[in-house]
Amino acid sequence: MNADRRVPNYQRIADALMARIDSGEFPSGSRLPTEPQLKAEYDVSSTTVRNAVKALAAAGIVETRHGAGTFVIERKLLTINATTTEDLDRRRGIVAQDSWSTDVKEAGREPDQRFECLNVAASDEQAKLLGVEPGAWLVMRRCWRTVDGIPASIEASVFPRWLVDALPELGSPHDIAQGTTSFVAERGYPMEVHLDYVSGRPFTREEESFFRAPAGVQALIRGRVSYDKPDGRVLRIMETVYRNDMHKILYVVAGRGNATSR
């Protein structure tokens, strides 16, 4: 027994429960004892039991469901391929579908998305990238995506004014089934290079209301700025917000590791 007084009681109970989960006593998806039961079992107050369960929830080990109980979580990661593009899909015979749907279906899961097109004011960052004034009107195309019925990601793209003028379909309130990347490319504006950044943060209140994810789940963010050529014109600014417990993002990186071979 660890009688280290520096470790709070609720943390010791959390550790004990975690050990019981690891031992197989509570397999993935199973229900933990109720809080009153744990309270009696460990002879502590309700506060302490709740803190213990909250610690496990924050660590992504369990999920509490109001009125139902506390359940052990199992993570199923979906791989999002950030390197392949639609031309690769075509070689595999996939034509009229965006690359996200392809990824999800190939994982044997069911994709669904709700689409919307809206006019937005350019943020400072967007304005700088596009060379317009902050607050300028931009067209945003946004997808709210679910996997097996679970809210999984939100993808938002904004396009420069001149591109929307050239390709009015970008302003239409209808989804472009083949994906905007290949649509824009086919019309004469191929994206030759993308700058991606990946980070993570807690959900905003707004995102929370869409995802309704358990505690311990945060956002995995992928930003992508697409250019017609290196240091060229920006064709699209995209940001995707993923549930971080459902996704991993894959990149194939060309190594140039042999410094002496240049």
Let me know the angle formed at the C-alpha of 94 by 87 and 225, rounded to the nearest 5 degrees.
Answer: 40
From the list DNA, a second copy, none, which binds 67 (C-beta under 5 to 8 Å, kind-based)? DNA
Residues 16, 18, 60, 64: which binds DNA (CB under 7 A)?
A: 64
From the list DNA, a second copy, none, which binds 64 (C-beta under 5 to 8 Å, kind-based)? DNA
What is the closest distance, in whole angstroms, from the C-beta atom of residue 217 to a second copy in the complex?
9
Chain mean position to CA 138: 24
From the list a second copy, DNA, none, which binds 182 (C-beta under 5 to 8 Å, kind-based)? a second copy
Residues 1, 3, 5, 231: which binds DNA (CB under 7 A)?
A: 5
Q: Pick the closer one to a second copy by CB: 125 or 137.
A: 125
Residues 17, 21, 26, 32: which binds DNA (CB under 7 A)?
A: 32
Task: Let me know if 147 is exposed, middle or buried by CB neighbors in 10 A (0-12, 13-18, 19+).
Answer: buried
Among 9-17, 82-90, 147-155, 186-194, which window interacts with DNA (CB under 7 A)?
9-17
Tokens of 74: 């199992």
CA gap 219, 243 in Å, rounded: 5
Query: What is the SS3 assignment for 188?
Result: coil
Q: Which residues bind a second copy (CB under 8 A)?
A: 1-2, 4, 15, 58-60, 75, 77, 79, 82-83, 85-88, 90-91, 181-182, 184-186, 190-205, 209-210, 215-216, 218, 220, 224, 226-227, 244-245, 247-262
> Minimal CA–CA distance to 194: which of 163, 158, 167, 223?
223
Query: What is the SS3 assignment for 137?
Result: strand
What is the closest distance, in whole angstroms, from the C-beta atom of residue 35 to DNA in the complex?
4
* Contact between 161 and 136 (Cβ < 8 Å): yes
Amino acid at 131: G
From the list a second copy, DNA, none, which binds 44 (C-beta under 5 to 8 Å, kind-based)? DNA
CA gap 97, 86 in Å, rounded: 9
* Contact between 242 and 198 (Cβ < 8 Å): no
Site residues (CB under 7 A) for DNA?
Answer: 5-6, 8-11, 32, 34-36, 44-48, 50-51, 53, 64-70
